Amino acid sequence: MGAALCARDNRARDVSTTWVDREVAGCEFRDARLGKRFRTLLERIGSDIGQSIPFVCQDWANTKAAYRFFANHRVSEADILSGHFQSTRERAAAMDGPVLVLHDTTEFTYQRDRPELIGITKRITNSKRDLAGNPRIYTACGILMHSSLAITTAGLPLGLGAVKFWTRDKFKGTAALKRKINPTRVPIEKKESIRWLENLKQSTELLGDPGRCIHIGDRESDIYELFCTAQEIGTHFLVRTCVDRLAGDGDHTVADEMGETSVNGVHRIEVRDDKGDLGEAILEVRYRRIRILPPVGRSIGDSSPTCRSNRAKTPSRSSNGMRCGGRSRCSTRSSSQAAGLKSRGCGPLNDWPTSSRSFAF
């Protein structure tokens, strides 16, 4: 019995070691001892994901060594991630078919006595109220991470293609900023939304084949410069947008044209309501080619790539009487095609595009 348990533990350790070795093989630290320490840390943290550093290190000596590693000025973010990026590229090269690159932003919030040492992420309205009856508002401290995760069409993760970390010295919110400046006149390089363009280019370059990549983003990725960047490097994208852009000759919008498009297909999707009851939503899919104009106040460039815009709508009721409402639009792009998911609305400050090109959807 004891021998069997020992053999099983050894096999598990061998598998873990092999995985760790592959991930750190491409890391280049200034000191070989730093590389060994990183490998040990990765193995310990990976063996019990979600636990604190003191817990996984098990003793004070290893815990102190871990904190010294992270505080070492000779260890950079690039040193730690270089090995993983190389592994992502190798895994993607070994797979056939398109690679989906999922872009999104994550907030890490902490409770600290001195939040200025970490940075600010956002302002939060507390449910508690002061003596005057006004809601209490406090500033959350933490860091933000914008990551680009490469996966297969079957949902198998291949690894990160790009990642960016940052924090804020202050945060006023987009509503306050709009009262002082015109968002459409702010260069993309001065907005936080530049991270979408940087990660798109970095992940595409890492994977090495722009034609295989399909970059997917939520409404925050509805940035006109992102469409232009994807066209320039020859890659594809699928975004859910929040701006109903001008189309055609500029006298109507994308929603107007899609509203006149006939249904091209139907999907049936099982959904659950708030009570957990199962129902069925009927999803109508429409698509057509539309020319998308740049934002108002911007000149139209010479390049007008042809794109296809799709619209998905769930107008029916499910079998149990549950209402299936809402609408969205999406698009796909090939070598000479770009794409986007459209819905009416106005985007936040860092979503407003400032490019001077036109697109045909």
pLDDT digits (tens, 9 = 90+) for 90-134: 999 999 999 999 999 998 888 777 777 777 777 776 667 767 777
Contact 207, 233 (CB under 8 A): no
Give residue 328's pLDDT. Answer: 34
> Residue 88's pLDDT band (boundaries 50, 70, 90)?
very high
CB 118 within 8 A of CB 143: yes
Token pair belonging to 84: 């993983």
Q: What is the pLDDT of residues 267-298, one digit of tens each?
A: 999 988 888 899 999 988 888 888 888 887 56
Q: CATH fold of 99-360, please? A: Transposase Inhibitor Protein From Tn5; Chain A, domain 1 (3.90.350)
Distance, CA of 290 to CA of 337 (rounded, Å): 11
Say if CB 149 and CB 91 are below 8 A apart.
no
pTM of the model: 0.73
The domain segmentation of the chain, as residue ranges, is: 2-75, 99-360
Backbone angles phi, psi at 142, to 5 degrees: 160, -165
Nearest to 224 by CA among 331, 55, 352: 352
Any idea which architecture 2-75 has in CATH? Answer: Orthogonal Bundle (1.10)
Q: Look at phi and psi of residue 326 and say left if phi exceeds 0, alpha if psi is from -120 to 50, else beta.
A: left
Give the C-alpha separation, 301 to 293, whole Å: 10
